[in-house]
Structure 1
Amino acid sequence: MPYDEDRLITAPDDPEAPRRMARMRELGLTSRPDQEFDQFAARLAQITGAPYAMVNFVGDQEQYFAGLYTPSNSATSSALEAAQASAHGSPGRTMALDHGFCPHVVVRRKALVLDDVCDYPRFAGNPVVDKLGIRSYLGAPLIDRTGTALGTVCVIANEPRPWGRAGLETIKSMAAELMTLVQERADQLASANRQRYP
């Protein structure tokens, strides 16, 4: 496995990236904040009791939080912005592919439950553990009707969390709900285009 600046690169091999990028363009998913996805992330945080929630689309160069919920005036919220700034030059919604666990969920195409990331050597060395203090993760892939994994819905916490079977079922259900929303929006866009260009 390759090394970068004295640390192991933790981004998974992702041969599906070109197909995913093409499918996101077809669905009208862009790298900009989306109010509806922000509201979805806020609801996800409320349902799971997690302090952070995201709707994350994984690109070929970086991951993008189209929906993001963070607690206001939080030291960790500032840490999230600082980590993003160091990787990308300015605070925002992007994160490198070797930061976090969502790229692994997309490649695996399965939900990932990490009650305590430090219990899993494969994930304990991820940069977000030290930079952001992330200790717990729960995420599920967003798989559209063509079978393309587009990204994730996920929640994180700064302390270990016993997500359990209920957490797993909740995150999978929320991923399915979000994909229904994405598909409805894509169908509306296609219908509008057909009316505009008959």
Structure 2
Amino acid sequence: MSFDPTSHLLLTPEDAEAPNRVVRLRELGLGEAPVPEFDDFARSLARVTGAPYAMVNFIDEHRQYFAGLYAPGADQAVELDPSAGTSVGRVMARDHGYCPHVIVRRKALVLEDVCDYPRFAGNPVVDEIGIRSYLGAPLIDRTGMALGTVCVVDQEPRPWGRQGLETIKSMAAELVDQIHRREHTGP
């Protein structure tokens, strides 16, 4: 008899806060449409980390929405066609990727090579998009709620290290400040 160590580890974490998060995101006017400032933020995040993909991601009960997106070869953020194989679109199922883990954990996640972690190696983004490394941090709102994440990914293993961790956490805090300013001044 063989044992598959990943069979019980691939579940997306339960997210009891999702219904309240949806309400808060609606109050903020986020999670339903691209935000040009968040596309700019994603571009900056990609530049600072040297990663080819960067996202500002809001998560509800069923899906993830990239309100900010930057992809390789784009001098501005673009909406890519997810049916084209190795590209990322604005919407992704909740059980794809690593951001749902970040939002439930409420702390940053560094995966220099996702294949080193049985829990994460079997995620659909590995086979469908070719993701091999991930660096993400939660966006913790002034209310204490995790609204979403900022993240970068690459199709190659990346030694993000402590500097990468500090960078993603700092950039997440910067974006939370921007979200709070939007809340007070309007989009």
Kept in 2: contact 1:83–1:131 (CA 8 A): no
Q: Does 1:40 align with 2:37?
A: no
Identity between Structure 1 and Structure 2 (%): 66
Between the aligned partners of 1:71 and 1:80, the Cα distance in structure 2 is 13
C-alpha distance 83-24 of structure 1, shift in aligned 2 (>3 A): farther
Runs of 4 or more, structure 1, over 6 Å off, are 77-80
TM-score of the superposed pair, with normalisation by structure 2: 0.87
Secondary structure in structure 1 of the residue aligned to 2:137: strand
Q: Which has the higher helix share?
A: 1
Q: Shift of the alpha carbon at 1:7?
A: 10
Kept in 1: contact 2:112–2:133 (CA 8 A): yes
Deviations 1:39-66 (A, max 9, x none): 0000000000000000000111100000
Q: Does 1:172 align with 2:173?
A: no
Counterpart of 1:145 in structure 2 is: 142
Quick check: which has more Rg, 1 or 2? 1
Q: Does 1:115 align with 2:112?
A: yes
Give the unaligned 5+ runs of structure 1.
Answer: 1-5, 85-90, 193-198
Secondary structure in structure 1 of the residue aligned to 2:72: coil
C-alpha distance 117-9 of structure 1, shift in aligned 2 (>3 A): closer
Which residues of 2 match residues 1-198 of structure 1 at below 5 A? 10-72=11-73, 81-82=82-83, 92-189=89-186
- Give the aligned length: 176
C-alpha distance 78-130 of structure 1, shift in aligned 2 (>3 A): farther
Give the unaligned 5+ runs of structure 2.
Answer: 1-6
Q: Shift of the alpha carbon at 1:79?
A: 8.9
TM-score of the superposed pair, with normalisation by structure 1: 0.82
Aligned AA (2:15):
D
